[in-house]
Amino acid sequence: MKLLLQGHDERYTVEQSLLNLFPGELPVYEPILPGDDSWAVVTLREEDDCCHVTTELRWQGRQTSHREVLPLSGTEYAREGQRRHAVGACFFLAAQAVSGVRPPWGMLTGVRPDKPATAALAAGRTPEETRAWMERFYYVSPDRAALAVETASAALRASRRLERRDIAVYVGIPFCPTRCAYCSFVSQSVEKSFDLVPPYVEALVEEIHSGGGMARALNLRCRTFYMGGGTPTTLTAGQLDRVLTALEDAFDLQDCEELTVEAGRPDTITAEKLAVLKSHGITRISVNPQTMEDAVLRAIGRRHTAREIEHALDLAAAYGFPHVNMDLIAGLPEDTAAGFRRSLDRCLEFETDNVTIHTLALKKGSRILTEGLSVPGPEEVAQMLDYAAPMLRERGYAPYYLYRQKYMSGSFENIGWTRPGAECWYNIDIMSELCSILSFGAGGSTKMVEGGRIQRVFNHKYPAEYTQRPEKWRANQNAFAEFYEHV
Ligand code: SF4
C-alpha cells in the first residue's frame, strides 16, 4: 500500500496497523498516481492545542475518509505520545472500515497488549474503568479488554513481591531432538550436533560460576530460576546434574521462590533425568505436547506419539514436582477445531496446575513457511481459543500472563493459565520487565532493569561460537556489573 504521511513521520505506528489489518500489504513510499487502488494519505496538523488527523484510504475499490481530533497537553514528551496515538487511531479506524477486519486487540500491535492496562491500574484506575478505557481508547474487544485487566492485575501482584536488587536467572540449552515445523529458533538438532553438547556444558558451567560470583559481589538476590531452550532435557542426566550443581554452587538460592526446567519434548524425558531434577529441588517442569493428535505431531516433525506424552506426564506425576505446566498450540498444521478440543480435553485429565495456550506464529525460516505446510485459518483458530478459555475457567484456571508475537494467526495471543497460587513468577517478571534477568548460554539475552532504565546485552547465538569465544559473555557480565555499580 502506498503511504503518504503529511505533517508527521509516524511511520512505525501506521505500518504496524497496515500489517495488522491488511496482511500481505507492504508499506511503499512512492507517489500516489491516478488509478492506484491501494494507498493512504495520513495528515496531521495542530490548531488550538489539538491535533487534527485525517486519513484518506483506498483499497480494493473501496475508499473511506476518517478524522480524529485529540487535545494535546503536558510535556513535549507526553504530547509526542498523544500525536502518535491520534495518527495510529485515525489510520486504524479508516483501515478497519475498509478492510472489515476487527482485530481482537484493536489498534494494539505490540508484544504486550496488557501493558496499558497495567499502567492504568497502577495509576489508580479501577479494573472496570481500565476495561472500558481499553475498549474506548484502543478499540480492544470486550473479552480481550477483560483479559488484559486480569493479567495486568497479576503483573501488579508480581511487582509487589520484588525488591530492588532482585533478579531472575536464565540458563539456555539450545539443543532439541529434532526441529519442529513451526520453529525458527537457532536450536540445533542433537542428532546433527551431538559433539557440540559436552563442550557447551563445560562452557556453560564456567559462565554460571563467573556470573554467580558477580551476583554475590553485587549483592543481588536470585528470585526465580528458569532453564529453557531448546529442550534442556536433551542433556543427559549427568549433564543436567552438572549444570544444576554449578547453579547451586554459584548462587545463593535461599530466597529463590521457584526453579523451573522445560522438559518440553516428551521423548527426552526419562526417570533418571526427572530424578536429577527432583534431587536439585526443581519446583516446576514444563512438558509441552503442543497437540495430542498423532497426525498433527507427525506434521510438525515430532517423532513421538500422544501416548508417549501421556507416559511422560505419568512419570512426571510420579516424581511429585510441586507444579507442572503443559503447552498447547492453536493453529498447527493438520489440526482442526475438533482436534484441538480433543487435545485440550486430554491434557486437562492430567490436572496440571499450569496450562499455556499458544497461538501459532508463522516464523521466517520455519518449515511451515519454507515447505508451505497448510495451517488452519484465523476463524478456525478463533474457534480453538473460544473453546479453551471457558473450558479452562470452568476447570479452575485463570489467565495470569499474556504476550503476542509477530505474524500470529488471527492476531490473537499466547496466554499462561494457572490455578490459584501456582503462577510461574518468572514468566511475569520477564514479560513485564519487572526485574533484571541474568542469562547464561548461547543466545542468552541479559536484560538490566532498574528505575525505568533498561539495557540489554546478548551472548553469541550459536553453541559453537558461544563455546569458542567466552570473551563475549565475559564482556556482557562486565556490562551487567557496571550497570549495577551505578544504581
Ligand atoms: S522444541 Fe521448541 S525450540 Fe525445539 S525445535 Fe521444537 S519449537 Fe524449536
* Domain boundary pick from 77, 101, 125: 101
Residues in the chain predicted with pLDDT less than 70, given as ranges, are 186-191
Q: Is residue 55 part of a domain?
A: yes
Extract the C-alpha cell encoding 268.
Answer: 527426552
pLDDT at 187: 59
Residues 85 and 230 in one domain: no
135 is a domain residue: no
Whether 276 is in a domain gets the answer yes
DSSP code string of 52-114? EEEEEEEETTEEEEEEEEEE--SSHHHHHHHHHHHHHHHHHHHHHHHH----TTTT--SS-TT
Count, residues in the chain: 487
Name all residues whose Cβ lies below 6 A of ligand 1: 176, 179-180, 183, 185, 187, 229-231, 264-265
Which range marks the domain in which residue 87 is found?
1-101
Residue 114 lies in a domain: no
Question: What span, in angstroms and rounded, lies between the C-alpha atoms of 259 and 426?
Answer: 9
- Residues 281 and 360 both lie in one domain: yes
Check residue 188 and give its pLDDT: 60
C-alpha 395 to ligand 1 mean position (Å) = 28
Atom in ligand 1 nearest the alpha carbon of residue 174: 3
Same domain, 83 and 192: no
CA nearest ligand 1 atom 6, residue: 180
Total number of domains in the chain: 2
Whether 107 is covered by a domain: the verdict is no
Task: Give me ligand 1 centre to Cα 265, in Å.
Answer: 8
If asked whether residues 64 and 193 sit together in one domain, one would say no
214 and 83 share one domain: no
Strand partners, 447: 437, 456
Q: What is the b/e burial string over 345-354, where b = at least 16 CB atoms within 10 angstroms of the residue's CB?
A: ebbbebebbb
Same domain, 203 and 324: yes
Residue 118 domain-assigned (yes or no) = no
Distance, CA 288 to ligand 1 centroid (Å)?
10
Q: Could you tell me if 346 and 427 lie in one domain?
A: yes
Q: Are residues 282 and 414 in the same domain?
A: yes
Q: What is the mean pLDDT of the chain?
A: 94
Contact 409, 182 (CB under 8 A): no
64 in a structural domain: yes
Residue 236 pLDDT? 97
CA 122 to centroid of ligand 1, rounded, Å: 36
**447 and 312, same structural domain?**
yes
Of residues 377, 373, 428, the one with CA closest to residue 399: 428
Furthest-apart CA atoms within the chain: distance in Å: 72
Q: 410, 417 in Cβ contact below 8 A?
A: no
Residue after which a domain boundary falls, among 80, 101, 122: 101
Best mutation site among 193, 231, 414 for ligand 1, i.e. most ligand atoms within 8 A of its Cβ? 231
Instruction: Specify if 185 maps to a domain.
Output: yes
Torsion-angle region of 139 (φ positive above 0: left; ψ -120 to 50: alpha; else: beta): left
pLDDT digits (tens, 9 = 90+) for 122-150: 999 999 999 999 999 999 999 999 999 99
Q: How far does the centroid of ligand 1 lie from the alpha carbon of residue 189, in Å?
A: 9
Q: Are residues 91 and 168 in the same domain?
A: no
Q: What are phi and psi of 40, to 5 degrees?
A: -145, 140
State which of 101, 124, 148 marks the end of a domain. 101
Ligand 1 atom closest to the CA of 300, numbered from 1: 6
Q: Are residues 168 and 94 in the same domain?
A: no
What b-and-e string marks burial along 361-394, b requiring 16 or more CB atoms within 10 Å of the CB?
A: bbbeebbbbeeebebbebebbbbbbebbbeebee
- Among 183, 300, 325, 405, which is best to mutate for testing ligand 1, by the most ligand atoms less than 8 A from CB? 183
Per-residue pLDDT tens digits for 287-328: 999 999 999 999 999 989 999 999 999 999 999 999 999 999
Domain of 236, CATH number, reads 3.80.30.20
For atom 3 of ligand 1, the residue with the nearest CA is 230
Report the separation in Å between the CA atom of 264 and the middle of ligand 1, taken as the mean of its atom positions.
8
Question: 403 CA to middle of ligand 1, Å?
Answer: 18
Residues 54, 178 within the same domain: no
